[in-house]
């Protein structure tokens, strides 16, 4: 929804302001300038990026439409899920977690927290490291190094797409100049035409420069920034999981372990200590 609202605001302000100054909107209708600029941009994007990045584009557009799913409620649910794992481990030992991490789809703990269970990357991350604990991993520093390695790899994979979209935003104004130059070449071929015809041709050529800059800084660059913010929020989600699991491995009680995770969050999405305590206090006994 935020993406749609932003697009509408950009169009209304730019085109509305142009029309309010007395500009003729019909002059801006140059579809072949758009074909040159956007077609060349998409072609360059395909040339520059591996197939894995191209496949991610569809999912990225869905992410932009839905916005970031990481808010206070999602973090409360995540920390509550981890609390249940830690509470079960304290009551029955770490081996009691084995059934939950080996078959997460059948886990009664994950079923209590649908937003966590629906994020298969987060489920895999939680299960992989709790599984290592059930297998006998006892050194928090070694576990942290392994987690950092995986999170850095995940971060780099995510930012391949962000970097590709930023390059698209950076290159589109130059492609607008290409379209404008082609328009000037076309105009020079009609140099003997009367001024009113030449004026229309020159105006059409300049639309190429306008369109390249407009698309780059009105859409591509803001969309890139929005996607980066979502991926950075996702990284915080994993940092929260990491901090809580390491605290559990260090021997802290469940309430303290999830507090480590809570403290890893940004202030605008971090639940308060009282909110987390109230949430975890209302949870059923894990089995």
Of the listed ranges 53-62, 123-132, 234-243, the one predicted with least confidence: 53-62
173 or 27: which carries more pLDDT confidence?
173
219 or 66: which carries more pLDDT confidence?
219
pLDDT tens by residue, 142-184: 999 999 999 999 899 888 999 999 999 999 999 999 998 888 8
Nearest to 39 by CA among 162, 167, 178: 178
- pLDDT, mean over the chain: 90
pLDDT at 83: 96
pTM value is: 0.85
């Amino acid at each position: 929804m935020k993406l749609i609202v932003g697009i509408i605001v950009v169009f209304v302000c730019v085109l509305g302001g142009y029309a309010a100054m007395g500009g003729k909107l019909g002059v801006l209708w140059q579809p072949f300038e758009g074909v040159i600029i956007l077609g060349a941009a998409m072609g360059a994007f395909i040339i520059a990026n591996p197939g894995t990045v191209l496949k991610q584009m569809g999912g990225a557009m869905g992410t932009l439409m839905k916005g970031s799913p990481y808010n206070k409620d999602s973090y409360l649910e995540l920390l509550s899920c981890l609390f249940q794992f830690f509470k079960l481990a304290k009551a029955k030992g770490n081996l009691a977690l084995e059934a939950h991490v080996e078959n997460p789809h059948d886990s009664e703990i994950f079923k209590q927290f649908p937003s966590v269970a629906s994020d298969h990357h987060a489920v895999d991350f939680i299960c992989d490291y709790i599984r290592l604990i059930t297998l006998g991993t006892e050194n928090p520093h070694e576990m942290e190094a392994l987690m950092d390695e995986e999170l850095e790899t995940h971060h780099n994979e995510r930012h391949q797409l962000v970097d590709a979209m930023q390059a698209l935003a950076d290159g589109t104004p130059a492609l607008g100049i290409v379209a404008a130059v082609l328009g000037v070449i076309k105009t020079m071929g009609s140099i003997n035409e009367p001024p009113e015809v030449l004026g229309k041709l020159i105006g059409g050529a300049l639309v190429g420069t306008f369109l390249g800059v407009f698309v780059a800084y009105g859409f591509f660059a803001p969309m890139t920034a929005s996607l980066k913010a979502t991926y950075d929020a996702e990284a915080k989600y994993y940092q929260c999981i990491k901090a809580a699991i390491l605290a559990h491995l260090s021997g802290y009680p469940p309430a303290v372990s999830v507090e480590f995770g809570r403290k890893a969050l940004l202030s605008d999405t971090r639940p308060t200590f009282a909110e987390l305590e109230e949430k975890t206090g209302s949870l059923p006994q894990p089995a």
